[in-house]
A and B are shown apart, each in its own frame.
Chain A
Amino acid sequence: MPRPQPRWITFSIDGREVRAPENSMLVDAAKHGDVEIPVFCYEPKLGQPVGACRMCLVEIEGIPKLQTGCSTPVKDGMVVYTQTERVKTAQQSVVEFLLINHPLDCPVCDKGGECPLQDITFGWGGGISRYIEPKRHFVKPLELSPLVAIDRERCILCYRCVRFSQEIAEDYQLVLVERGAESYVATFDGHPYVAPFSGNIVELCPVGALTSRPYRFRARPWDVEDAGSVCTFCPAQCNVSLTVRDERALRVLARENGEVDDGWLCDKGRFAYQSFHVDERITEPLLRDGGFLRPVSWERALAEAAAGLARAGARSGAIAGGQSTNEEGLLLSRLVREGLGSPHVDSRRAGPLPLELHRALGDPALQARTSDLEFAHAVLVLDADPVNDAPIFDLRLRKGARRHGLRLAVASAQPSSLDATAALSVRHAPGGGPALALALEAALSDGPDLESHAKAAGAHAAQVRALADLLRGAGGEEAATGGREIVILWGERFASAPNGAAGAAALLGIADALQMRDTEGAGLLEVPAHSNGRGLREAGVLPGVGPGLAPAPEVGGPGLPRDARSIADGLADGQLGALYLLHCDPLRDLPDRELWARALGAASMVVAHASFLTEAVREHADVVFPAEAYAEKEGTVVHPDGRLQRLRPAIARPGAVRGGWEVLAELALRLDLDLDANDGTTVSQALFDAVPFYAGLTLDEIGGRGVRWQERPAASAFPLPDGPPAREQLQPLPQDAEDLAGHRSVWDAQEVEFSPSLEFLFPHRELLRIERPLARAAAAGLPPAALEVVLVDPEQGLDALPR
């Protein structure tokens, strides 16, 4: 769908000629002339202006009444005044009206010092008060949710928060009730406002009416610093600004980037900073000693890890989790391949995909941008659940559907939060995504296999046909000439499921049938299972794949390169000995928990680079390196759409925590491998040099907004496949298909579990309490009849019992 192309016009404001984009609202246009028009309710992110607060009244020549600058589009030749007596009187009166019911408790208000109401009162208010009647009173503050406190006395009824709830998040939980001067912001019948994006209302509030409970009274604006970075808690990689005081992150705010987050954050991104500073955080190297993990020096920990890994040598495996940076991934894969001579590195959750398919799916001409999700004619969400996979995409899709007429289609095994927004929702059997793609491909080419593929997918053929019609007809007649902009947002689990390769090939067929390659604004967008899934892949953390999706150098180790699951098999049956876990707890993050429990139990050496003593680390790690939180890291990550983004250290590392690249480099040295890692910049430079299609990049070029590598000349170095990928036959689905596809919501994560204010979101399970004979009673010198108490997760069943 055509994006607005601004035409520049000239208008006059306060007697000066100013150039501004035509039809931009006066308050925005005025900024081009360095004129500030005060606003409260105006927030372009919230959609159409509502003109409620009346703060932005200006005088326009030829119009008798004062007009709201927030809702008046600027035209060529318009003559605007913002400084006349009339305007000043109106502005002063609005400030006076707003303050008559405002408690003026600024000294004890969190917003004080960064409060638009304070600033505007100072700048545009009359300075005196004529109101002596009693003010409106509310009990304050009250809880609105576990995360947000509400002070209704301070509220100036600007409508921003309720507009967010109703028009952006579309959860319709936060509303205004009653009428007139008695209106106030509330939820239904005392229910808390709990929704994935609820925290945004705190940032939207132009007064201190909505405050963050975790941040309340922690700091004043003048004793904090802002530090920009990128949230790596999920693949959406929203740009954030951390509020830092005394080397502690006290708050996370959105750092608007239209090509990434559109200025919003999910509640996890906004509040999980608490996990940086909790007592549970690992801040020292740990070594298992007599069955217990005990703090040791770095020297000792590195030496033990190096010795253990060296003993296993080529019989080692390594897995990088999504919080790893590209640089860490690159160093880890070199350490394993070059230092240990083992080819067994992986970063994907499940299921290998042939290199040719990785290359075909990564074709720069096929990559959609994040903003395409909003401006496309149609988007198909295929086997992905944005609110659980990369929450901020959920808002983007809603925005597209609401504002730009985007036709949304959802194809998934589970009901999706987007169903209500979607023009069409197609359900398929668990693990049936690939078959559905084949069916859709058949439907688009009117091929004969539609019925059989749809059956294999567990979907209705008629629905698949409807889906094909929706995509083919998106945008109507107009789009037929200009090109139908269609985006398929697909989840990594789609290509990880059984038949993933066949599905991926079908996806490419669909892309061709819809002419995605030739259409600007169309393409594929993969949601990786981990935050930096894409970056780690491009850095070469895949079995048999080196940096830049080149074949990995032969390392001479035994057997074929193993993927994550096969590493587990190898450990369990003794073919592999050691395992390096970088930001990964296989018992939590990877499918087939039972296999992994056996694998970890059998491993001779498990080195974990981790922040928390989660189960695998607690029970199985022999050496634990304390890992950095993202706010402490330097390095780069890659957004799902190919945007390289830069992490910058915002706070100091706690305790003995060292940089991830440093630790890997140290460890490599002990394995007689010099990784040439002298500082963060050289490590990043090494990455840019290693990946041909990143060639020439610098950290400066990435800057604060990121760079999509596809938009740089070096993109031509991308290793395109030689021809269309080989087609694989559909195999019948195993019974437990969904388990194999394995999926974990981004909300079900350690940073949620370890953030006190978010704990309520962490899916707690009722644990069963079981008593059993203590197996090693004798060894422990206890009476043979001693019992031990264990807690069992009923979902995992008895298999999960610690052995």
Chain B
Amino acid sequence: MSARERDEALEEQLDTVLRSALAGRSRPVPRFEHGSRVPGWDEAVDLEKDPAEIPDPADTDVPPALRKEIEAHMERYPERRSAVLPALMAAQRLHGWCSPQALEQVACVMRVTPAYLESVASFYDMLETAPAGRHRVYVCTNISCSMRGADELYTAVRDAAAGDADFNVRAFECLGACDIAPMASVDGVYVGPLGPEDVPRLLDDARSGRPVLAEKQLAKRPVADPGANAGDQTAG
């Protein structure tokens, strides 16, 4: 080991020690090693921060379009709080995820605390509480799809999109399209049945903004019931 390497190694070691000393609690603890953790398992508060109350409109910048959209949603309901989900969705479309900044903006318009919104946002699967790619690929891996190869499909999509920060590939619970199993929802468009061979085009279509796998879209599929389209059979 050269002197320089030794120096670097020492520095790195020192860095680790320092960082753990600074953080005070980040030394690895053996009993946490087996992985039975939940997200946020080490979420601490920063005592230097002010309490998170309803944001002050005077020092919260809300993009005018977002404000307008949220206000329009609030008007649709007898109680403005009902607009939380559409408002969070709107903020997510703008920010890419329900970032602290996004939550503060929604909180400011809706006059609720950001904590309230965080609590709601973290409850719903479609609201992202961490940065996520802008193209959503939800692969249904629930039972009906799974029996038709959804788990393999999910792995294939995940691997193909690996490294592409534009993609948010998630294994999703039943998307309500077991008739086209295995299937995926790509930016909200249902496509299926899918095989591993469809994956490259699926990602390409999404990337380029073309209709995704146009011929496999659920929208175009007739109902399975053979009696359904056999002329008016209405009784009575």
Mark A residues whose CB is within 8 Å of B: 133-139, 142-146, 152, 166, 171-179, 181-182, 184, 186-195, 420
Q: Is B63 an interface residue (CB 8 A)?
A: no
Q: Are B38 and A182 in contact (CB under 8 A)?
A: yes
Q: Are A134 and B34 in contact (CB under 8 A)?
A: yes
Q: Are B114 and A188 in contact (CB under 8 A)?
A: yes
Q: Is B45 an interface residue (CB 8 A)?
A: yes
The one of A137, A142, A172, A189 in contact with B32, judged by C-beta atoms closer than 8 angstroms, is A137
Interchain CA distance A137-B32 in the complex, whole Å: 7
Interface of A, secondary structure class, is: loop
Q: Which B residues lie within 8 Å of A195 (CB)?
A: 51
- Can you list 19 residue pairs at the A/B interface with Cβ under 8 Å? A137-B31, A142-B25, A143-B44, A145-B45, A173-B51, A173-B52, A177-B123, A178-B38, A178-B39, A178-B123, A179-B123, A182-B39, A188-B117, A188-B118, A189-B103, A192-B46, A192-B51, A193-B45, A194-B51
Q: Are A177 and B118 in contact (CB under 8 A)?
A: yes
Across chains A and B, which 6 residue pairs bring their CB atoms closest together, nearest first? A175-B119, A188-B115, A191-B52, A134-B36, A194-B51, A182-B38
Interchain CA distance A174-B116 in the complex, whole Å: 8
Known: A143-B47, A152-B41, A175-B119. 16 other contacts (CB 8 A): A134-B35, A139-B32, A142-B45, A171-B51, A171-B53, A172-B112, A173-B115, A188-B113, A188-B115, A190-B43, A190-B44, A190-B49, A191-B45, A191-B49, A191-B51, A192-B47
Q: Is B211 an interface residue (CB 8 A)?
A: no
Q: Are A173 and B53 in contact (CB under 8 A)?
A: yes
Q: Is B42 an interface residue (CB 8 A)?
A: yes
Q: With A177-B122, A178-B39 as given contacts, are A143 and B53 in contact (CB-CB < 8 Å)? A: no
Output the residue of B51, B53, B112 with the most chain A CB within 10 A.
Answer: B51
- Residue interface bits B119-141, CB-to-A below 8 A is 1, else 0: 10011000000000000000000
Q: State the Cβ distance, B59 to closest chain A Cβ, in Å.
A: 15
Q: Which A residues lie within 8 Å of B47 (CB)?
A: 143, 145-146, 192
The one of B25, B44, B100, B111 in contact with A188, judged by C-beta atoms closer than 8 angstroms, is B100
Q: Are B45 and A190 in contact (CB under 8 A)?
A: yes
Q: With A145-B45, A192-B46 as given contacts, are A175 and B115 in contact (CB-CB < 8 Å)? A: yes
Q: Which B residues lie within 8 Å of A144 (CB)?
A: 45
Q: Is B40 an interface residue (CB 8 A)?
A: yes
Chain B residue, CB-CB nearest to A146: B47
Q: State the Cβ distance, A191 to closest chain B Cβ, in Å.
A: 4
Q: Are A184 and B38 in contact (CB under 8 A)?
A: yes
Q: Are A176 and B45 in contact (CB under 8 A)?
A: no
Chain B residue, CB-CB nearest to A174: B115
Mark B residues whose CB is within 8 Å of A: 25, 29, 31-32, 34-47, 49-53, 100, 103, 111-119, 122-123
Q: Which A residues lie within 8 Å of B123 (CB)?
A: 177-179
Q: Which B residues lie within 8 Å of A193 (CB)?
A: 45, 51
The one of A146, A175, A181, A191 in contact with B50, judged by C-beta atoms closer than 8 angstroms, is A191
Interchain CA distance A276-B31 in the complex, whole Å: 41
Interchain CA distance A188-B49 in the complex, whole Å: 11
Q: With A134-B36, A137-B32 as given contacts, are A189 and B118 in contact (CB-CB < 8 Å)? A: yes
Output the residue of A133, A137, A176 with the most chain B CB within 10 A.
Answer: A137
Interchain CA distance A175-B42 in the complex, whole Å: 16
Interchain CA distance A181-B36 in the complex, whole Å: 11
Chain A residue, CB-CB nearest to B50: A191
Q: State the Cβ distance, A738 to closest chain B Cβ, in Å.
A: 22
Q: Are A192 and B53 in contact (CB under 8 A)?
A: no
Output the residue of B45, B50, B117 with the most chain A CB within 10 A.
Answer: B45
Interchain CA distance A639-B41 in the complex, whole Å: 46
Interchain CA distance A192-B50 in the complex, whole Å: 7
Interchain CA distance A570-B50 in the complex, whole Å: 45
Interchain CA distance A143-B24 in the complex, whole Å: 12
Q: Are A184 and B51 in contact (CB under 8 A)?
A: no
Interchain CA distance A346-B64 in the complex, whole Å: 57
Q: Which B residues lie within 8 Å of A133 (CB)?
A: 36
Q: Which A residues lie within 8 Å of B103 (CB)?
A: 188-189
Q: Which A residues lie within 8 Å of B37 (CB)?
A: 136-138
Interface of B, secondary structure class, is: loop
Q: With A172-B116, A177-B119, A195-B51 as given contacts, are A187 and B39 in contact (CB-CB < 8 Å)? A: no
Q: With A135-B36, A139-B44 as given contacts, are A172 and B115 in contact (CB-CB < 8 Å)? A: yes
Interchain CA distance A149-B44 in the complex, whole Å: 10
Q: Which A residues lie within 8 Å of B111 (CB)?
A: 420
The one of B29, B31, B40 in contact with A184, judged by C-beta atoms closer than 8 angstroms, is B40
Q: State the Cβ distance, B109 to closest chain A Cβ, in Å.
A: 15
Q: Which A residues lie within 8 Å of B51 (CB)?
A: 171, 173, 191-195
Q: State the Cβ distance, A108 to closest chain B Cβ, in Å.
A: 14
Q: Which A residues lie within 8 Å of B49 (CB)?
A: 190-192
Chain A residue, CB-CB nearest to B119: A175
Chain A residue, CB-CB nearest to B122: A177
Q: Are A176 and B119 in contact (CB under 8 A)?
A: yes
Interchain CA distance A596-B122 in the complex, whole Å: 56
Q: State the Cβ distance, A154 to closest chain B Cβ, in Å.
A: 14
Q: Are B38 and A136 in contact (CB under 8 A)?
A: yes
Interchain CA distance A190-B51 in the complex, whole Å: 9
Q: State the Cβ distance, A172 to closest chain B Cβ, in Å.
A: 4
Interchain CA distance A143-B53 in the complex, whole Å: 18
Interchain CA distance A152-B43 in the complex, whole Å: 10
Q: Which B residues lie within 8 Å of A420 (CB)?
A: 111
Q: Which B residues lie within 8 Å of A189 (CB)?
A: 52, 100, 103, 114, 118
Q: Which B residues lie within 8 Å of A190 (CB)?
A: 43-46, 49
Interchain CA distance A144-B44 in the complex, whole Å: 7
Q: Which B residues lie within 8 Å of A188 (CB)?
A: 52, 100, 103, 113-115, 117-118
Q: Which B residues lie within 8 Å of A172 (CB)?
A: 112-113, 115-116
Chain B residue, CB-CB nearest to A135: B36
Q: State the Cβ distance, B33 to closest chain A Cβ, in Å.
A: 9
Q: Which A residues lie within 8 Å of B53 (CB)?
A: 171, 173
Q: State the Cβ distance, A229 to closest chain B Cβ, in Å.
A: 30
Chain A residue, CB-CB nearest to B123: A179
Interchain CA distance A726-B47 in the complex, whole Å: 55
Q: Which B residues lie within 8 Å of A186 (CB)?
A: 40, 43, 115, 118
Chain A residue, CB-CB nearest to B115: A188
Chain A residue, CB-CB nearest to B113: A172
Q: With A175-B116, A189-B114, A195-B51 as given contacts, are A137 and B41 in contact (CB-CB < 8 Å)? A: yes
Q: Are A137 and B119 in contact (CB under 8 A)?
A: no
Interchain CA distance A192-B46 in the complex, whole Å: 6
Q: State the Cβ distance, B217 to closest chain A Cβ, in Å.
A: 31
Chain B residue, CB-CB nearest to A182: B38
Interchain CA distance A177-B52 in the complex, whole Å: 15
Q: Which B residues lie within 8 Å of A181 (CB)?
A: 38
Interchain CA distance A139-B24 in the complex, whole Å: 12
Chain B residue, CB-CB nearest to A184: B40
Interchain CA distance A174-B52 in the complex, whole Å: 10
Interchain CA distance A655-B115 in the complex, whole Å: 47
Q: Are A173 and B113 in contact (CB under 8 A)?
A: yes
Q: State the Cβ distance, A677 to closest chain B Cβ, in Å.
A: 47
Q: State the Cβ distance, A186 to closest chain B Cβ, in Å.
A: 6
Interchain CA distance A135-B51 in the complex, whole Å: 31
Q: Which A residues lie within 8 Å of B118 (CB)?
A: 175, 177, 186, 188-189
Chain A residue, CB-CB nearest to B33: A137
Chain B residue, CB-CB nearest to A103: B31
The one of B41, B45, B46, B116 in contact with A138, judged by C-beta atoms closer than 8 angstroms, is B41
Q: State the Cβ distance, A492 to closest chain B Cβ, in Å.
A: 28
Q: State the Cβ distance, A157 to closest chain B Cβ, in Å.
A: 12
Chain B residue, CB-CB nearest to A195: B51
Interchain CA distance A789-B208 in the complex, whole Å: 70
Interchain CA distance A189-B99 in the complex, whole Å: 9
Interchain CA distance A187-B29 in the complex, whole Å: 24
Output the residue of A135, A179, A186, A191 with the most chain B CB within 10 A.
Answer: A191
Q: Are A187 and B44 in contact (CB under 8 A)?
A: no
Output the residue of B25, B35, B40, B112 with the most chain A CB within 10 A.
Answer: B40
Q: Which B residues lie within 8 Å of A184 (CB)?
A: 38, 40, 43
Q: Which B residues lie within 8 Å of A134 (CB)?
A: 34-36
Interchain CA distance A178-B50 in the complex, whole Å: 23
